Structure 1
Amino acid sequence: MNSGLRALVGARVSVVQGPEKVSNFAQLETGMRWADANGLSVVAMFQDLDVSAGKYTPFERPDLGKWLTEEKLWEWDVLIFSKIDRMFRSTHDCVEFAKWCKEHRKILVFADDNLTLNYRDAGKLNSLDQMMTELFIYIGSFFAQIELNRYRSRAEDFHRVLRTTDRWASGVPPFGFQTVDHPSGKGKTLARDPYGYEWLYKIAEKLLAGWSWIRIAAWLNESKVLTNMDRAMIKNGKESKERPWNVGTVKLIMTSWSTQGYKTTDKGKKPHLDADGNMVRIAEPTFDDATWEQIQQAAAKRSYNGTRRVHSENPMLGVGSCGLCGAQLAQQISARRGKSTIGLPDNRYYRCGRTPLNCNGMNISAEEAERTLESQFLAEHGEKLVIEKVFVPGSDNSRELEEVTGAIARLRAESDAGLIETQEDQDHYISRLKGLTARKRELEKDTVRPSKWEEKKLDITYGEAWARSVDPIEHREMLRKWGVRLILQPKSSVPRVILEFSK
């Protein structure tokens, strides 16, 4: 293999179980050994951890996907995995990715399986070795898919059996509980977690004292209280969320039946019922019945607070931001109250969208914000020609350069061997050699050209483009594409709205 080729070494693990999980490191080590043995330069290593190959195609995976984009695919030639099942758990994904490799002239290597799919070398594209390699890789992906389906079937059967028992199947337990060995000696069950149990009572105390969901979430984040998910992440050597609590998480633990020790479905929102229609208890309740009822009544009172989210699209999404914290501006409607205002439209406004606690006083009438944005932008830039960024794909002419260099070498070998005898042969030889040499010089000047963005000036002004539509969502997309940003300032500031324009 050409020692000048650039390699990516990848690893994938469906479930990371803790610091003792080292299969990803072993995969990378295998790939690095293969690259070193074949004289390749490794440009990068990547790891897709907690990523299922049955759920995500290669193009959808967080780390691998970045290297398959138009911007990055010109930076490497060879992709190395240790085994086929680390890359594929689907024959369909395997076939589609092989097509992509052929289209982009990439080499795919499975080091431990001793398989190399080479779409870079033109001389091997239709060879018997290449065809056999494709067949073996397709067969390998087929068996990997069968293995995945068997695992899923066993897991579904396992969960189906455990649904009506007091055993815990798997996953992170509800807040206030921890997994322990089942008294029967088979599997796991749930028991009270002292840390979570203490905080559940503190949260209930604040809720019954009249605190809002937002205030409770902010207080929990300020107190550095960890959710069970964050504690599990830290145990497995990962970073926890900086602010794990929000309105949704607080409300869920204060209203979910799982807090009372019952098995639940629909992410904790509904109790699981057995064949007789009874709720299945797996652990002792956190609160007594009277306290739980008080908590549910307090939660119900917070279901409506005079404001509601707008479920239509936000005309300021991706355009407006808070001048204090930088969060996106959220759109909300404050319902009018009182009999005298019945029939009048609701008040629409934008506010700081930071959660769980938005910046105090950072809100503005939607009409004022939109009017100011339009008038100020058109006044300053309406007469200018529109400038848009255009993506220019890169190119890789290294394969053609190799072929041209080889053709020149063959021509010269024919000449050195005395195979050019007549004047006609000589003229043909000189003509071909000149053409190939000229082409070689062109290719050497621009062998690999990376992708890039270029600015293009259109034959239309910003004002003319704006006037072509009255739809606020189309206007929003124009502003986002042009790089226009609205920054909301505090109420004491003048002006309250500042525009930034990147062009």
Structure 2
Amino acid sequence: MSAGLGGRGPAMGSMTALAPVRAVVGSRVSDTHGDEGKVSHLVQAESAARHALSKEWEIVGSFEDLDVSAEVTPWNRPDLGPWLTERQGEWDALVWAKVDRAFRSAKDCADVAHWAEENHKVLVFTDDGITLDYREGRESSFGNELAKVFLMLASIFAEMELKRIKARVTAAHRHLRKTDRWAGGQPPYGYRIVDRPGGGRTLEPDPVTSEAVRYMGRLLLEGQSQWMIATALEAAGFDTPATHAYKNQGESYSSKRKTPPSNHWNPSSVGKILRSPATVGLKLTGRSVKARTIARDAKGLPIRMAEPLFTEGEWAAVQAAMDERSVTKERSNGASPWLGVPHCDRCGDRFYRQLNFAKNGKVYEYYRCAKTAGKPACKGQSIKGERVTAAIAALVERLAGLAMTVRRFIPGEDHTEQLNHVTQAMRDLREEKRRGLFDYPGGDDEYSEALETLVDERRRLAALPQRPSAWVEVETGQTFADAWTQADQEHRRQLLLGLKARLYMAPAVEGWYLPAELEARVRQQCA
């Protein structure tokens, strides 16, 4: 049933004829990704404009809220909001196609209707045949009262429908979280979305970005820092996650960005990717990177939805290497040539380089003891740069015959890693319970069943023979002199830091220090 415009008072007839109604027409779409979403706003706008023109109203503006939920109050919507605030004096009638395009909340509906009455506006919902006309002289008409009833009923039905949609989506996502089906969104770096046998979508390694992830892991296990890995990725021409998504995730993703993202790799991105369980094919759940946890099946075990990019041993080695690097963070980008090698003989802290520029253009290089948190600089502890260079040359000569080694990770045999997975799954499960993620009908039973399954699995694995993972030193076939000759400046600094070689220096005394284990190796191999 429709409700038309309210009765027109005799005193207003001539005034209305002289002042045509100024109309604003518009649309709203929650999701523009699907085929329907791509044209829905155009259909809505056409319906609203056709109605305004049929009334011989003057269309003075339009609004188009795309990818905006109806749960967002009208005043806070990016395109509609200004027409209800600073631009409210520019129009008389606001025209939508349908009520559910304007509201999914009875409260929002009542608030807008009340606002329209106070500000003498016209609200029109063309496809639903509802019009509220609150222009001066029409406020208390029977047509308005009847239209208000139909509008409130329509908004209540729209709110109920929204709740049903949310319930269906929540139930669907809850089900999908326990399967190897991809629920939607941008895939983790290293993977791409493909059709799943039996229906739905899933993931498989992306031919290009999966190689980038494996390359990161290989460089990390070779001893390179995250900064060095980021530099290597750029040199190799690998796109960053944002750039790859912009190029490959379709028109709907690209349309949200006005300009292409920067294709500059940073150490933080490298760390996040190498830390993510998604790189071994595990399914993750959560709205943000920080909130993501490993998804589990009905038994509480991690769901593997794609081929892993690392073997179990490689993954454990990568995580161990990341843990080791997180203990002491060395600055690499823009570091002085020997940062971390020369140290103050008096306090033991590292020296920092200082460059002094003379008026004649000559540059003087010094290494000084610097003030740090809780410690003043040692007075007089300043060494000329050429002395540091000479001392390092002597140290390199001392280490020349040393056999170079790399640390290799030997994964645990038997069921060590499986036990770690189950133990972590139990921690994740308890954390999700603490965060209230099982707060739904049947959630407590689901939690108890999953935890009981994990406890039984842990007991079974713990009863089996276990051998812990370990790092071992493996000779590379190179001497220190070979590695030094082939390395650039930054890699030479990293070679010394990797050996934990230290130069403890003072203005009048010079020397170097080697850890006892390294000194023993040098004496044995370089005698």
Q: What residue in structure 2 maps to residue 42 of structure 1? A: 59
- Larger-gyration structure (1/2): 2
**Alignment partner of 2:69: what SS?**
coil
CA distance in 2, matches of 1:44, 1:114: 22
- Give aligned pairs, total: 311
Q: What residue in structure 1 maps to residue 170 of structure 2? A: 156
Q: What residue in structure 1 maps to residue 505 of structure 2? A: none
Residue pair 1:206, 1:216 contacting (<8 A) in 2 also: no
Letter of the 2:162 counterpart: L
Letter of the 1:189 counterpart: T
Offset of residue 39 of structure 1 = 1.6
CA distance in 1, matches of 2:298, 2:96: 47
Offset of residue 107 of structure 1 = 1.4
Where in structure 2 are the equivalents of 1:91-170 lying within 5 Å? Answer: 91-119=106-134, 121-170=135-184
CA distance in 1, matches of 2:322, 2:106: 49
Q: What residue in structure 2 maps to residue 197 of structure 1? A: 210
Q: What residue in structure 1 maps to residue 316 of structure 2? A: 293
**Alignment partner of 2:46: what SS?**
helix
Distance 1:99 1:219, change over 3 A: farther
Offset of residue 75 of structure 1 = 1.9
CA distance in 1, matches of 2:253, 2:285: 26
Residue pair 1:216, 1:250 contacting (<8 A) in 2 also: no
Offset of residue 78 of structure 1 = 1.5
Where in structure 2 are the equivalents of 1:271-420 lying within 5 Å? Answer: 271-300=294-323, 301-302=325-326, 305=329, 337=372, 340=375
Distance 1:271 1:51, change over 3 A: same
Q: What residue in structure 1 maps to residue 278 of structure 2? A: 258
**Alignment partner of 1:293: what SS?**
helix
CA distance in 2, matches of 1:284, 1:211: 25
Q: What residue in structure 1 maps to residue 26 of structure 2? A: 10
Letter of the 1:162 counterpart: L
Q: What residue in structure 2 maps to residue 79 of structure 1? A: 94
Letter of the 1:24 counterpart: H
Residue pair 1:10, 1:31 contacting (<8 A) in 2 also: yes
Residue pair 2:177, 2:285 contacting (<8 A) in 1 also: no
Offset of residue 135 of structure 1 = 0.9
Q: For residues 103-141 of structure 1, what are the alpha-carbon distances to aligned partners after superposition, in whole Å with 9 as ceiling and x for unaligned?
A: 22221111111211112x222211111011111111111
Offset of residue 251 of structure 1 = 3.5
Distance 1:11 1:195, change over 3 A: farther
Residue pair 2:105, 2:158 contacting (<8 A) in 1 also: yes
Distance 1:60 1:218, change over 3 A: farther
CA distance in 2, matches of 1:222, 1:66: 44
CA distance in 2, matches of 1:36, 1:89: 27
CA distance in 2, matches of 1:170, 1:294: 31
Q: Runs of 5+ in structure 1 lacking a partner?
A: 308-334, 343-503
**Alignment partner of 2:64: what SS?**
strand
Residue pair 1:10, 1:81 contacting (<8 A) in 2 also: yes
**Alignment partner of 2:115: what SS?**
helix
What is the TM-score of this pair, normalised by structure 2?
Answer: 0.53
**Alignment partner of 1:190: what SS?**
strand
**Alignment partner of 2:302: what SS?**
coil
**Alignment partner of 1:122: what SS?**
coil
Distance 1:338 1:152, change over 3 A: closer
**Alignment partner of 1:48: what SS?**
strand
Distance 1:215 1:24, change over 3 A: same
CA distance in 2, matches of 1:7, 1:99: 19
**Alignment partner of 1:200: what SS?**
helix
Letter of the 2:305 counterpart: I
- Residue 43 of structure 2 corresponds to residue 23 of structure 1: no
Offset of residue 72 of structure 1 = 1.9
CA distance in 1, matches of 2:45, 2:190: 38
CA distance in 1, matches of 2:327, 2:63: 45
Q: For residues 344-363 of structure 1, what are the alpha-carbon distances to aligned partners after superposition, in whole Å with 9 as ceiling and x for unaligned?
A: xxxxxxxxxxxxxxxxxxxx
2:82 to 54, 60, 66: 66
Q: For residues 250-278 of structure 1, what are the alpha-carbon distances to aligned partners after superposition, in whole Å with 9 as ceiling and x for unaligned?
A: 44322121222112233353212334332
Offset of residue 47 of structure 1 = 1.3
Offset of residue 38 of structure 1 = 1.4
**Alignment partner of 2:137: what SS?**
helix
Q: Runs of 5+ in structure 2 lacking a partner?
A: 1-15, 332-369, 378-527
Letter of the 2:284 counterpart: T
CA distance in 2, matches of 1:207, 1:66: 51
What is the TM-score of this pair, normalised by structure 1?
Answer: 0.55
Letter of the 1:40 counterpart: W
**Alignment partner of 1:32: what SS?**
helix
Offset of residue 73 of structure 1 = 1.7
Residue pair 1:261, 1:286 contacting (<8 A) in 2 also: yes
Offset of residue 281 of structure 1 = 1.1
Residue pair 2:120, 2:136 contacting (<8 A) in 1 also: no
Q: What residue in structure 2 maps to residue 443 of structure 1? A: none
Residue pair 1:18, 1:236 contacting (<8 A) in 2 also: no
Offset of residue 229 of structure 1 = 4.6
Residue pair 1:90, 1:141 contacting (<8 A) in 2 also: yes
**Alignment partner of 1:189: what SS?**
strand
Residue pair 1:182, 1:188 contacting (<8 A) in 2 also: yes
- Residue 37 of structure 2 corresponds to residue 32 of structure 1: no
Q: What residue in structure 2 maps to residue 311 of structure 1? A: none
Identity rate of aligned residues, in percent?
A: 38
Letter of the 1:149 counterpart: K
CA distance in 1, matches of 2:32, 2:276: 28
Distance 1:207 1:103, change over 3 A: farther
**Alignment partner of 1:141: what SS?**
helix
Distance 1:235 1:98, change over 3 A: closer
Q: What residue in structure 2 maps to residue 234 of structure 1? A: 251
Distance 1:13 1:305, change over 3 A: same
